[in-house]
Structures are given as C-alpha cells and as structure tokens.
Amino acid sequence: MVRLGFIIGFLALIGVLLSGLAAWRVHDQELTLDGIALARAIDVHASLVQDRLTERELLARVASGLFRAPSVVKANMLQPLRSSIYAFKTDFVVASWIARLKPTELGAAQAELKSAGFSNPTIRDFDDQPLDLKAIDKPIDVLMDLEPRTPDTLGVPGRAYDRHSIVGPMLAQAMATGKPVASDPIPLLRQNGPVGLVLAAPVQQEGASEAAGFVTFSYELAPLMLANDDRSLFSVVLKDPRDSHDEFVANDSAAVTLRAVTPDAPVPSMVRTVTFGGRDWSLAYYAKTSALIRAQQTAAIVAAIGLALTGIICGLFGYVAYNNLRLSREIQVRIGFERRLTAVIDELNHRVKNILAVIQSIVTRTLRHGSDMDVSRELLIGRIHAMSNVVTLLSESQWQGVKLKGLFEARAIPHAERIAVNGPDIAVSARAAQSLSLLFFELASHSDEGLSLVGKHPHIVAHWEIVGDEPETIFHFRWEEFNTSAATRREDSDFGLILLDRVAPEALGGTAKRYFTDVSYVYELTAPMVTVVDMSERDRTEQLSAPVRPVR
C-alpha cells in the first residue's frame, strides 16, 4: 500500500507539473500571438491613416496650384475650384479662401462680401469683435469665400484670423515655408463644433514675393484617425501636440473629446507617428481587450483541465491498482516474458539479417560474370551448406557458441576424412563460428583432388593452439596441405581470397597469411582470444535465456 500511495503521489506530481507547464506554454503563446496580431493590425491602420492624410495634403497642393488670384478682394474666388474640390474628396467640413488684404483693400473687401450675400459682411476679428479699420497699418488675413455655403457658414466670411491663437500662427508658418501647414486640433464652425484640423496651402501670385492668400480645408479628426471601427482590436487616440498630458479620443459615434492622461492610466500598447501638414502627429493605440488577462484566463482553463485529468487518472489508477494488487505479480511476470521474447526476436532478426547478408555476398561473389557455372554451382552449394551447418550447430546450443572441432564434420566441409584435427576443443562465439566455418570450407574445397606431384592425395593438418596469459591470450590456427604445390593446387576463387585475407581476419580482429613451402600449402590465422570467444556476446545470450523471476 505504501508503494501504491507513492506511485499515485508521484503520478499526481507529474500531472501537476505537466498541467503547469502546459498552462505556462499556452499563456506564453497567447501573449505572443496576440502581440503579433495587434502589431500587424496597428501597422496596417497607421499606414492607412498616413495614406489618407497624404491624399488630403495632395488635394491642398493641387488646389493651391490651380488657384488664380487676379484680385484677392473678390468674395467668390472658390467658384473655379468647386468642381475640382468635389472631384477629389468630399469629406472636408469647410474649404475656404483666406485673402491677405492690405489696409487699403479692406473697404473694397467689405463691399464684395456684402454683394456676395454673406450675412455679416463687415471685416471683424476672429471672435466677431469689430475692428478699427483705420488703425490697421499692415496686411491681415481675412476669410473671403468658403464652401459649402450653408446657414452655419454664411456668417463666417469677413473674419480676420491674424490674432487667432491657433489659425494665426499656422497661416504665418505656411507663408514662411510656402508649403501646406496643418493647425493644432480646434473646434470647427463654432465654439462647440466638432474637433478637427485646418490645412492651409499658400497661394503665390506670379511675380509676387509673398503669398496672396491661403486655400484651407478643414477636416474632422475622427475620419482622419479612422477611429470608428467597432471590430478593431484597438482604439486609437491622437496625442495633443500642445500638451503631452492630454489626448484626443474618438468614440463610436465619431465624437472627439479631449481627456487628461493620469499617472495611473493604462500605457498605450503602441505609438505610431504620421506626417501631415509639415508636422509629425503621434497616434497612440490601446488594445480593447487585455492580452495578459485573456492569456491568464486561457492558461487557467488549461491548468484546470490538466488538474482535473490528473485527478481522474490518479483516482482510476488507485482504484484499479487496489483491486488488482494480487494480480500484479502475474502481470509483471507476463510482461517480463514478453520483454524477453521481444529481445530474443530482435536478436534473431539481427542474426538472420547478418546471415542473409553473408549469403548474398556468397552468391554475388560465386556467380560472378565469366565464371564456370559448374564449378560456381558446386562452390555455391558447398558454401551455403557450410553456413547451414553452422547455423544448425548454433541453434542446438541456443546461439551460445560452437565447439571448434564440430566445424570439421563431414557434413560441413569436403574431404573431412583427410583432415587431421589437433587442438583444444574450445567453444567459439556465434560470430567467430560463422567466419571459421566458411574459412574451413574454402580451404578444404580448394585442396588437391589427386593431382599431386607424387600421385597421392594431399594430407591436411588443421592445428590450433592458445598461447599467452590472460587476458592477452592469442588464438593461433594453422592449416597445412602436404603433397601439394602452386602447380597442383586449385587456385583460390575471388571470394575465397577475400575471405582468407580480409573477411575472416577482420571478423576476428586478427591477421592472416598464406604461402607455399617446398612440400605444402600453409594458411595461418592469428587473433586475440577475446574476439574468438566473444565473452560479451556469451554473457548477453545467457542473460536473454535466463528465466524471468517474479517481482516481489
């Protein structure tokens, strides 16, 4: 029971850790994905706002370029431009002509305003306060014409904007730079009118050093900011250029208000800068939903699901384990047998693949192009028979090794009756047995078949010995065929030469040499005893064949 409780506690700990890891991972991914989506949406929005502002500034430049002012005093100067203005854009609030009038032109200007039908044709200050025209001694900027002419706008012409706190400096800057200039955000049309911007483009007369006046366009802020998308991921505000502690906010109804930025107010998610009217404007973006809160909620849900699954799994495991405790030993024994069977099958597959690879090499080398088919057929059958014999011997010993003398049986190699075998009957490993079996067959199959110099069959001696002390003992094997020579002995095949000189020595980690003496043919093989016996393979085979004991 203690062990069972420990296992359940361990599983619960793992489940809690995995649930926490999954929750943390989900939290991190949610934050990353929300951040990427928000940044992409903001970049697209800022690009659209900049394109929108650039189009309106281009309209002002085109209008000022098309404008011709033969007489700045006239009150219908926008008449030639009306069709062009509406052809470009129709989302402006007011388009106007502000003439720069000299003191001597003010009287004529009042007459023009009166003849044009404006409700208050007098030249006055921007707040509709009367001006002493006789006291004016320098040019002033007077609104002379506007579009559209509605009841709300007919009373505006005649106002002078030189002393206006926002429009006056804007006009002065436009005259100084000769380029369109945007004003600070101000109410349009009336004191409590919609908040917007005024863009003034100076109009130059031919040959004049100063501007003759200004073509202006007034726009509401909300459309310029593109701030009325209910499906947007963010809300956008315009930083007040006059005070960094205030910002202009547009609601869903396109109404723009000014609000103060308090120290505890949320920080904008991102800030982007756009250019309009020769100025840089800062757009601040606030995410409508908190990515952190949403990520935390999602992570909490994932963690809760993980903990619930952990509790269910631990409960079911405890219930099943408690009711099947008496059967656990039998299950463990069965699992052990299955593991041993799997290991034996894997080992068998490995050995079968090795044998098939050797057989493939034998067939390829034996049946090479141009070889005598009768001789090749006999060699192929003999080599495969030798492999079959050693596999049979290994199977009988459960692949724990083969006695070396057993490889010289008549069923394994030809002319076995003429081979004198001398040496200790050691047990060689499965790997060594396969290599030595093929080696002995190659040596025996190429021995003289009766064509010796003395008319006798060659006498063959196979002798091996173990020399040296543990753990550096050496296995030395010597094969000697008497009554034979290079002239009478059948020449070794290509496969035989590769087997004698390279394959067998490399398989045993040793060296080999072959030569003729005056009366015999000699082949010698020397290898470390540890590779011939292969203790590691024997130990592994014994471990696989050991009976599985039940766990107590």
Q: Under a CB-based contact definition with an 8 Å cutoff, are residues 402 and 428 in contact?
A: yes
The encoded tokens of residue 288 equal 């409508």
The encoded tokens of residue 354 equal 């090795």
More confident residue, 165 or 302: 165
What is the Cα–Cα distance from 448 to 309, expressed in whole angstroms? 79
- Give which of 100, 98, 88 is closest to 63, Cα–Cα: 88
Q: What is the pLDDT of residue 181?
A: 94
More confident residue, 394 or 57: 57
**Is the pLDDT reported for residue 386 higher than 80?**
no
The encoded tokens of residue 321 equal 């384990």
**Is the pLDDT reported for residue 530 higher than 60?**
yes
More confident residue, 312 or 213: 213
Give the DSSP letter string of 337-394: HHHHHHHHHHHHHHHHHHHHHHHHHHHHHHT-TT--HHHHHHHHHHHHHHHHHHHHHH
Q: How confident is the model at residue 523 (pLDDT cuts 50, 70, 90)?
A: very high
Judged by DSSP in three states, 140 sits in strand
For 136-140, 217-221, 367-371, 456-460, which range has the lowest pLDDT when averaged over its residues? Answer: 367-371
Digit-coded pLDDT (tens) for 174-204:
999 989 999 999 998 888 888 999 999 998 8
C-alpha distances in Å from residue 294, one per residue of 26, 27, 41, 42, 225: 11, 9, 18, 19, 27
What is the Cα–Cα distance from 499 to 523, expressed in whole angstroms? 12
Residue type, 215: V
Q: How confident is the model at residue 540 (pLDDT cuts 50, 70, 90)?
A: very low
**Is the pLDDT reported for residue 147 higher than 90?**
no
Average of pLDDT values for 251-272?
A: 84
Q: What is the pLDDT of residue 198?
A: 94
What is the Cα–Cα distance from 108 to 71, expressed in whole angstroms? 11
- Residues in CB range of 537: below 8 A, 6 or more apart: 429, 430, 431
**Is the pLDDT reported for residue 101 higher than 80?**
yes
**Average pLDDT taken over every residue of the chain:** 79
Q: What angle do CA 443, 447, 451 make, to 5 degrees?
A: 170
Q: What is the pLDDT of residue 70?
A: 59
Q: How confident is the model at residue 48 (pLDDT cuts 50, 70, 90)?
A: very high
What is the Cα–Cα distance from 300 to 54, expressed in whole angstroms? 46
Pairing relation of β-strands 124-125 and 159-160?
parallel
Q: How confident is the model at residue 446 (pLDDT cuts 50, 70, 90)?
A: confident
Q: What is the pLDDT of residue 402?
A: 79
- Give which of 170, 74, 165 is closest to 126, Cα–Cα: 165
What is the Cα–Cα distance from 183 to 102, expressed in whole angstroms? 24
**pTM for the complete prediction?**
0.52
- Give the percent of the chain with pLDDT over 70: 80
The encoded tokens of residue 32 equal 């990353």
Q: What is the pLDDT of residue 451?
A: 44
For the chain, first and last CA: distance in Å? 14
What is the Cα–Cα distance from 127 to 123, expressed in whole angstroms? 11
Digit-coded pLDDT (tens) for 58-93:
888 888 877 765 566 787 888 777 766 666 656 788
Judged by DSSP in three states, 514 sits in strand
- Each domain of the chain, given as residue ranges in start order, spans 2-52+291-323, 335-542
- List strand residue ranges (DSSP E) for 483-517, in order: 511-516
- Residues in CB range of 412: below 8 A, 6 or more apart: 385, 386, 389, 390, 437, 440, 441
Q: How confident is the model at residue 124 (pLDDT cuts 50, 70, 90)?
A: very high
- Give the percent of the chain with pLDDT over 90: 17
Average of pLDDT values for 235-256?
A: 83
What is the Cα–Cα distance from 132 to 339, expressed in whole angstroms? 111
DSSP 3-state helix, strand, coil percentages of the chain (rounded to 5)? 45, 20, 30
Highest-pLDDT range among 248-257, 291-300, 364-373: 248-257
Task: Please determine, looking at this structure, whether the domain spanning 335-542 carries the CATH number 3.30.565.
Answer: yes
More confident residue, 493 or 436: 436
For 35-39, 242-246, 495-499, which range has the lowest pLDDT when averaged over its residues? Answer: 495-499
The encoded tokens of residue 241 equal 């250029």
Q: What is the pLDDT of residue 551?
A: 40
The encoded tokens of residue 191 equal 């004191």
